Amino acid sequence: MKKLFRYLKPYRFFAIISPLLMMGEVLADLCLPYLMSFIVNYGIIGEELAGNRVASFLVGIFYPNGGYSNLNLIILFGVLMLVVTLIGGFFGTLCAYTAARASQSFGHDLRRDAYRRVMSLSIEQTDRFTTGSLVTRMTNDIAMIVEFIEMILRMFVRAPMFFIGGSIFLLMLNVEFGVVLLVSLPVMLLTLIFVLARAVPLFGTVQKRLDRVNCVVQENVGGARVVKASVREEYENERFAVANGELRSINYRVLRLMAIMNPVLIFVQNFAVIAIIYIGGNSVAEGLGGMSTGNIMAAVSYVTQVIMSIMMVTMMFQSVSRALASAKRVREVLDTDPVIADGNGDMQVGGDIAVSFRGVSFRYPDTAGAPVLHDIDLDIRRGETLAIVGATGSGKSSLVQLIARFYDPTVGEVLIDGTPAQQYKLHDLRKKIGYVLQKSELFSGSVADNIRWGNPGATNAEIKAAASAAQADAFISSFSDGYESPVAEKGASLSGGQKQRLSIARAIARKPEILILDDATSALDLSTEAKLRGALREVMQGTTVIMIAQRVASVRDADRIAVIEDGTIRHCAPHEELLQISATYRDIYASQMGKGGAAV
């Protein structure tokens, strides 16, 4: 938590003044019962003012020559109570504003930095945290910390001042009332220690169970079509019910423990009130000096304030415990250094080779067994179209992910324009690359916004040209609002082929030096795909294109085709040559093409 407090530094003025303002509000609240006792003692009962120097001083200011009645005293002290209340309210309002300003600004900056850190993490790190957990940390956990900061700026002053100030005023009224506190406090403190010692360890578990609920919800909302198509609603409902039930159970345990506090505190408060009335009543009945009805009423108010301060402490400790658990989880994100980090930016002058793999082997982090890729040596010429084919799981997608440094090779190195990829600044490296995945990711907004997302400075003409090349202009123009038509979250309002074409248009609008198509045309029919390939050859001249595909018809026109088998490149040659030298490629060709060369 100490590390997170640095986010308060820019707002230290509000953070410092807020507790000071709270002191003013508490002092005003502490004065009210004292003034009320004056109304009762001197305005209603009619005791002599000479017995109280404070009351005499106040009356002397407004009635220096005397001549006041009991009603005058009631009005005087009543007006003073109103003034004190207004002053306290003024301080309280300013305190609430400054505390909120400091805590919400703190939360804004913390959430901003946590989000930036999440965006800088590598894929393996986000997978390790899980999406649901990261969402919880960015929202619920930071909200807990913000709530804690606001409570620090207010309650950490309010509760101790009520406790100390209430105790002092109580003893000023009558020292015997101190006995009530001596009996009450140990009971309250022992209960507080008992409850918090058992509840604090559970708060971290609550957040983990909340992570699980978020994960299940996210999986099922994102995969709703698969769930419905597979008629697995009942199974997923049950899975959510289990996660939700576990969260409920742990919350029940925490709430049951915290529920012990209120009855105990209320019992102690009522006991203290009865004891004060008993002690004060006996003193009045026996005619002992220094005790009056007004003092008893004020004492009841003060003992209530002292008990309430203990209840505030209980709330604070609960908030502290939750905030500490949340702070630990947020710090785990902030303290995680990206595995894929920027290079030194020392780039060499590129030659004719756009991408080069030199002795590359790769294994996914935290996995055992044979590497996914091994002994990869491949040069891809500038402006060349290279296709990659192979069986499912052979390592095709893993190979191209190394180019954009989604992962780094375990052994060997990848060079871009003659410079090792690890020497590039990530922004500079990925600026060179247009990447289109098989699973198209679109964002809520308009069609034009999604295409422009790859190049924020693209003009409307460039957007339309990119869409035309991607064979998307026809269906976009059929929409009622054309390029301004809204796209639902994750492109839910579009078909698979439409989403793929929009993703390809987005990559084209980016005008990359290297275009990677990772099975990005799998949802397109052969005719549309053929038109797309022809358009790409025209608009992407000079661009290095690396395409992964399952269909021979998609790759046969490529300059070269790399055949990956068992995690390594067995052959790399044009289509006709591969038919002669690669048994694997011949098998793929035979399974997809008829005798006359037509698609089956």
Q: What is the CATH number of the domain that holds 244?
A: 1.20.1560.10
Last residue of a domain, one of 473, 500, 527: 500
Q: Taking the mean position of all CA atoms in its chain, how far away is CA 276?
A: 50
Say whether both 460 and 530 belong to one domain. Answer: no
From first to last of its 600 residues, what are the pLDDT tens digits of the chain?
Answer: 677 888 888 998 999 999 999 999 999 988 898 888 888 888 888 777 777 788 888 888 888 887 788 888 899 999 999 999 999 999 999 999 999 999 999 999 999 999 999 888 888 888 888 877 888 888 888 998 998 898 888 888 888 888 888 888 888 877 777 788 788 888 888 887 888 778 777 877 887 888 788 888 877 776 776 777 777 888 888 888 998 999 899 888 888 887 887 788 888 888 888 888 888 777 777 665 556 778 888 888 888 888 888 778 777 777 777 788 888 889 989 998 888 888 887 776 667 899 999 999 999 887 877 889 999 999 999 999 999 998 888 889 999 999 999 999 999 999 998 889 999 988 888 888 998 887 888 888 889 998 998 788 889 999 999 999 999 999 999 988 899 998 877 777 788 888 999 999 999 998 899 999 998 888 888 888 889 988 988 888 889 999 998 888 888 889 999 999 988 999 999 999 999 998 889 888 888 876 444 443
Write the CB contacts of 377 (distance below 8 Å, at least 6 apart in sequence): 357, 358, 359, 360, 569
| 383 closest CA partner among 548, 547, 540 | 540
Max Cα–Cα distance, the chain, nearest Å = 123
The pLDDT of residue 290 is 59
In a domain, 208, yes or no: yes
Domain count of the fold of the chain: 3
Report DSSP letters for 74-93, one per residue: HHHHHHHHHHHHHHHHHHHH
d(CA 305, CA 164) in angstroms, rounded, equals: 10
Do 20 and 151 fall within a single domain? yes
Structure tokens at 10: 């820019």
What domain range is 446 assigned to?
Answer: 441-500
In the structure encoding, which two tokens stand for residue 76, read together?
Answer: 């005087």
- Co-location of 308 and 355 in the same domain: no
Whether residue 347 sits in one domain with residue 330: no
Q: For residue 27, what are the CA distances in angstroms to 297, 397, 535?
A: 18, 68, 78
Q: Is residue 507 part of a domain?
A: no
506 falls within a domain: no
Do residues 304 and 252 both lie within one domain?
yes
Amino acid occupying residue 586: R
How many CB atoms within 10 Å of residue 563? 23
Nearest to 203 by CA among 331, 328, 104, 334: 328
Cβ atoms of 332 and 211 closer than 8 Å: no
Q: CA neighbours within 13 Å on the CB side: how many for 528? A: 17
**Four-residue CA torsion sign, 579, 581, 582, 586:** positive
- Rounded distance, CA 349 to CA 417, Å? 7
Residue 505 lies in a domain: no
Q: Tokens at residue 419, please?
A: 């410079």
Report yes or no on 375 lying in a domain.
yes
| 162 contacts 88 by C-beta, under 8 angstroms | no
Decide if 37 contacts 298 (C-beta within 8 A). Answer: yes
CA-CA-CA-CA torsion sign (312, 316, 322, 326): positive
**382-to-301, 313, 544 alpha-carbon distances in Å:** 84, 69, 5
Q: What is the distance between the alpha carbons of residues 134 and 117, in angstroms, rounded to a whole number? A: 11
CA-angle at 136, arms to 135 and 141, nearest 5°: 130
Are 227 and 322 part of one and the same domain?
A: yes
Show which of 319, 334, 349 is a domain's final residue: 334
CATH number for the domain harbouring residue 414: 3.40.50.300
73 touches 42 (CB < 8 A):
yes
Measuring CA to CA, how many Å separate 333 from each of 7, 110, 122? 15, 11, 12
pLDDT of residue 130: 80
8 Å CB contact between 43 and 71: yes
- The C-alpha atoms of residue 408 and residue 245 are separated, in whole angstroms, by 41
| DSSP line for 100-129 | HHHHHHHHHHHHHHHHHHHHHS-HHHHHHH
**Quick one: 266 and 308 in the same domain?**
yes
Cα distances from 156 to residues 103, 168, 224, in angstroms, run: 14, 19, 47
Is the domain of 359 the same as that of 396?
yes
One domain for residues 521 and 486:
no
Instruction: Note whether residue 453 is domain-resident.
Output: yes
> Vertex 66, ends 60 and 68: CA angle to 5°?
100
Which residue, 280, 307, 334, sits at the end of a domain?
334
3-state helix, strand, coil in the chain (%, to 5): 65, 10, 25
Residue with tokens 């693209």: 458
Same domain? For 450 and 423 the reply is: no
> Do residue 30 and residue 125 come from a single domain?
yes
Instruction: Clarify whether residues 139 and 186 are in a common domain.
Output: yes
